[in-house]
Every structure is written in structure tokens, then in C-alpha cells.
Amino acid sequence: MQPEILKADAKTRQRYVILMVFVVMIGVALVYLSKEYWSWLETELQTKPTPERLDEILVEFRLMFGIVYGVVWLGVANMTYQAIRILWAGQFPLPNAKVIRDTPIVRGRAARTRAFILIGLAAVLGVLLIVLAVMGVRLFNLTDIRA
């Protein structure tokens, strides 16, 4: 018996390629900007800034940390949501999902296994984010770069 195949959608594939190009462009821009930021920060800290300026630098760093942290938490939430939907539907890919290549439909135990793997990855990433947050808070509270 042949497995059921969910056929690829050409328009979805085209949108996915455009999205990936956009994501790569944003990634390259962020890498460039982060290099500029770190070199600027190093220069700024070597010139012995005033305590007020150090507070501004810490606020900027916390803001960047918070934005990145929030985006990754959104990814964890989406992974968990998709896993729960797979468990409810009992199949992967989900019914009426748009895929970029022909994909065999998996049901039953195999679909549940994929959902649990996705939940496990989301849990590991969530724990790592919590550890990173604790380390960041301790770093901000324990280090006094004004000394």
C-alpha cells in the first residue's frame, strides 16, 4: 500500500523562497550591525565613560537582550503550539497544511513521536533561555563596571 502524499503547492514554495531570502538579508544585516556595535562598545568602554553613560550603555544592552530573548520565546511558543496541534490531529503534516515539497502523511504513533520530539526541543530551548536569563540578571547585578 502506498502512503498518502500531501502535494506541494508551487505558490507556497515561491513564498517560502522569498521569505528565506528576506531572512538571510536580515541576518546578514544583523551580523554587520552587531560587529559595529561590539567594536563601538569596546571603544566606548576603553575611554572611561561617565557613570551616566555607562547606565545608558547597560540600558541599550538590556534592550537588545530583551528583544532577542522575546523573539526566541515566540519560537518556543510556536513549536509547542504546533506540537499540540499535531497531537490533536493525530497526523503530520497537519490536515490542509501547505507544504513546499511532496510530503508523506504520517499518522498514529509516528505523528505522536514527532510531536513529542518537538515538545522536547521546545522544552530544552525554554530551559536554556531561563538559564540565560538568570545568568544575564546575575551578570547585571553582580558586575559593577564603574569600579
pLDDT tens digits for range 99-110: 999 999 999 999
Q: Is the pLDDT of residue 84 over 80?
A: yes
Neighbours of 118 (CB within 10 A): 19
pLDDT tens digits for range 1-51: 788 999 998 999 999 999 999 999 999 998 898 888 878 877 877 887 787
> Residue 125 — pLDDT band, cuts 50, 70, 90?
very high
Percent of the chain at pLDDT above 90?
54
Which residues have CB under 8 Å from 13's CB, separation 6+? Answer: 100, 101
Q: If you search the block for the grid coordinates 551616566, which residue do you land on?
A: 52
Of 105 and 146, the one with more pLDDT: 105
- Structure confidence at residue 19 (pLDDT): 96
Which residues have CB under 8 Å from 88's CB, separation 6+? Answer: none
Sign of the Cα pseudo-torsion (39, 41, 43, 45, in order)? negative
Rounded to 10°, the helix 51-89/10-46 angle is: 160
Of 98 and 55, the one with more pLDDT: 98
- Structure confidence at residue 143 (pLDDT): 56
Cell of 109: 504513533
- Structure confidence at residue 138 (pLDDT): 79
CA–CA dist 114, 37 (Å, integer): 40
